Each structure stands twice: as C-alpha cells, then as structure tokens.
A and B are shown apart, each in its own frame.
Chain A
Amino acid sequence: MSNENHNESINQAFNQSLNKSLESIDEKTKAELTSIRRGVLRSTESEVIILSAHPLWKNKKVASIGLALAASVMLVMVMPGILQNNPVQDFSSDFVIYSEVDPDWLVDMEIAEALGDD
C-alpha cells in the first residue's frame, strides 16, 4: 500500500472515531447549540441583536450591550419625570435680540412712548 493510501485509510479511521465522539454530546448541549443557532439567525432577520434569546446572554459581549441598552432606555424613560419635577425656567422671552428687531418699529415705539401713547 502506498503512503498516500495509508494516509487515506488512517484519515478515515480517525474521521470515524471523531464522528462517533459526537454521539457523546448530551441532549441538553445539542438543544443549547440549536437555540444558539436560532438566536443568531433571528438577529439577522431583525438586523439587530436579539437580546431576549436566552443563550445569547451567556455571551459577555451581548450581555454588556444588553445592559447598556437597558440602562439607556431607563434613562430616557426617567428623564422626562425628573425634568417635570425640576423644570428649567425659560427666560428666552425676557430677552430681545435687537439685531433682529426692525429699526422702523423701534422708532415708532420711541415716538409712541414720547407721545405717551400706549
């Protein structure tokens, strides 16, 4: 038998052994793998990472993204309430930007004031 045939035979034997080793993977792990695959594929359907898929939470990256998103959402929800309780006073109407005021109107106003006309 040539070396090439020898290699072929040995590769087949190892291949069979390795394939048989897959049988030792328990059902729970197989189910987890299926769940991971589905979660990953679901993430492409919505073009965003699906955070509710349970196995994804085992991934630290996904979990940290999830926590960051959750924190952002909470902040957005809470901020209006905080602002309502501590409203910022609006002074904008107290100021007149003179450069934007029509000079003719100012002259009219001054004449009116001088005449004592309201």
Chain B
Amino acid sequence: MNLNNQCEPLSQLDAFLASVEQRAYRTALFTTKKSQDALDIVQDAMMQLVQYYRNKSIQEWPLLFHRILQNRIMDWHRAQQKQKRFFWQSPVSDPDDENPVDEMLEMAAQDQQYNPVELMVRAQNVERMIKAVDVLPLRQRQAFLLRVWEGFDVEQTAQIMECTAGSVKTHYFRALQRLRELLGEEGEGF
C-alpha cells in the first residue's frame, strides 16, 4: 500500500478522533459513571470506526462515530440491566417507555410555561448543570447531548439513535423540561 496515500487519511482520522475523544469519554461517563468502562466504550467506538468506516468520506465520520458510540453505550446499559435481573434486582423502569404521543401533546400544552432565559441563567453553574444532565434517563440524555452538545439536527440525531425524528423531539423536549424542573428547584441540591 502506498504510504503517502495512507498517511493523509490517517492524519485526518487522528485529527478527527482527537477532536471527539474527550466529549465521547464524557458522554460515556454520564451513563457508566466508571472511568474504565467509559474508556472501553470510547476505544470500541474508535476501533469500529477505524476498522469499518475509515474509507468513508470525512463528512460522514461524525455521524458514524456517534452512532457507534451511542450503540456501545446502549449495549453497556442493557448489559447492566441484564446483570441486575440476574441478581434478582428489580429492573429500573425507564420513563422514556411511556407513550410518546401523549407526552408530546402534554408538552405542547405546557410550552407556554417554558422559559429558556430563566433556564439559561440558572444553568450558569456548571457543576449543577452537569449533575442535572446526569440524572436524565439515558434516551433523553442521548437526544439532549447530541442536539445541544454535538450540534446534530433532529434527522441526524434520529439516525444516530436509530429511532424516528418524532421520538427524538419527544426525548429532547422531555430532557429540557426535566432540566428546567431540576435547575428550577432553588436551594434543593441534587
């Protein structure tokens, strides 16, 4: 294989992975709460991207990488759920399993109460804000981080999360609502 042909994509890959590695680690850490598990997930995601998708165009890498990363996080989450069941612990109910249509209607009705400026002011405290994100259910957190932090639009987020755009909207709005509740509770630490 021609070394020159190989070096350029590799340096691009290196630059891309360097640009996403810390955020990917932080994203995984939100779910795993364990540094080593988060590192394993990031490593898995990097390996998969490099092994199977390095020949794709650079523009496709962010979407592919986050899709792999979110899948790995979901796998980890499912494995934990299985482990809990194995040890006869009651599985944690995911509030995201509720009917999304009803929830959307409810949220639309409550939209007038949503005050982003107030929320923004309250979100100044980074630590408090991170703790609030930390308590979000997995799917809400995924939608929230992909939309807000990674800057993906609804369609891209839907592709990454392997669900419909409507589901993404539901998760995202629920996340915002939950954050509003959490950050609005002045004096009640998380």
A residues bordering B, Cβ < 8 Å?
1, 3, 6-7, 9-15, 17-18, 20-22, 25, 29-30, 32-34, 36-37, 40-41, 43-45, 55-56, 58-61
Contact = CB atoms under 8 A, between A and B. Distances in A.
Contact of B40 (A6, A18, A25, A59): A59
B116 A9 contact: yes
Contacts of B13: 41, 44
Contact of A10 (B22, B119, B126): B119
Interface of A is mostly: helix
Contact of B25 (A15, A18, A29, A61): A29
A10 B120 contact: yes
Interface string B80-120: 00000000000000000000000000000001000011011
Given A17-B130, A21-B126, A1 B148 contact: no
A58 B116 contact: no
B14 A37 contact: yes
Contacts of B22: 22, 25, 30, 33
Interface residues of B, number: 39
A32 B39 contact: yes
B59 interface: no
B23 A22 contact: yes
B116 A33 contact: no
Most chain B CB atoms below 10 A, which of A14, A32, A61: A14
B42 interface: yes
A15 B116 contact: no
Interface of B: 6, 10, 13-14, 17-18, 21-23, 25-26, 35-36, 39-40, 42-44, 46-47, 50-51, 54, 111, 116-117, 119-120, 123-124, 126, 129-130, 133, 145, 147-149, 176
Contacts, number: 106
Given A18-B149, A25-B26, A40 B43 contact: yes
Contact of B17 (A29, A41, A45, A60): A41
Contacts of A36: 21, 39, 42-43, 46
Given A7-B116, A37-B21, A40-B47, 16 more contacts: A6-B116, A6-B117, A10-B176, A15-B148, A17-B124, A21-B130, A29-B35, A30-B22, A34-B18, A34-B21, A36-B43, A40-B50, A41-B10, A58-B39, A58-B40, A59-B40
A109 B44 CA distance: 73
A33 B35 contact: no
B55 to A, nearest CB: 11
Contacts of A17: 123-124, 126, 129-130
